[in-house]
Amino acid sequence: MTIHREGYKSIAVATLLFGAINLIIFWFLPALPVWISAGIFMITLAVFLLIISFFRIPSRKLTINDDQIIAPADGKVVVIEEVFDTEYFNAKCLQISVFMSPLNVHVNRCPVAGEVIYNQYHKGKYLVAWHPKSSTENERHSSVIQKGKYQVLVKQIAGALAKRIVNYLEVGQKVNQCEELGFIKFGSRVDLLLPPDVKVNVQLNQVVQGGVSVLATFS
């Protein structure tokens, strides 16, 4: 397991705060009851470890297959439905959405290999990530990858806790399947808009792993 580069600053700040709070408690407030001091230590330690865990990148054998669409993020499948996309396709698409809790790995990966032909940031609201309108009204970053005759739209969506979306892609860039495309800090969701005739390989509420689980297969 490694730590993602997006977490270096946050972990450094968390380390300083953890050390400062407990130094004050144990050095400058020795008169506090032991159970209070111990309780504060345990709470701050739990928060510190949670922050480290949030930026983890576990070692995995990634799934590489030109005929398959791989999960762009860890989490739970919360949407599988046909929608009409007005941002890019102006046509019916199949939407598969993966909700990421704060406990999930939060690196986002390219579901297919190809060329980035669209990459756009949109300001928006911070509705809870499972809200039906979060896909179109929340802050988000949309990227379209052209793979042969197919186009796949990946939408990183901010939620009530997620206040920063990081996207590494640029128009014209060639990407590999499962390559990192970005990061969303502190919980949210990723939507995929796919050709309507793909074969779906997952079910609602199924837990998937980014870069590993097969969401759909090109027909």
Average pLDDT over every residue of 190-194: 96
Q: Which pLDDT belongs to residue 124?
A: 67
Residue 9's CB is within 10 A of a number of other CB atoms, namely 9
- 68-217 placed in CATH 2.60.60: no
Domain residue extents for the chain: 2-57, 68-217
What burial letters (b/e) apply to 28-50, b meaning 16+ CB within 10 Å? eeeeeeeeebeebeeebeeebee
- So which residues are the catalytic ones? 188
- Find out whether 108 and 210 touch, Cβ atoms under 8 Å: yes
Q: What is the pLDDT of residues 49-96, one digit of tens each?
A: 988 888 888 889 999 999 999 999 999 999 999 999 999 999 999 999
Integer Cα distance of 122 and 103 in angstroms:
26
Helix pair 8-23, 34-54: axis angle to 10 deg = 180
Listing DSSP states for 133-163 in one string gives THHHHB-EEEEEEEETTEEEEEEEEE-SS--
Half-sphere exposure of 13 (CA within 13 A, CB side): 5
Q: What is the pLDDT of residues 114-140, one digit of tens each?
A: 999 999 998 866 566 555 555 666 788
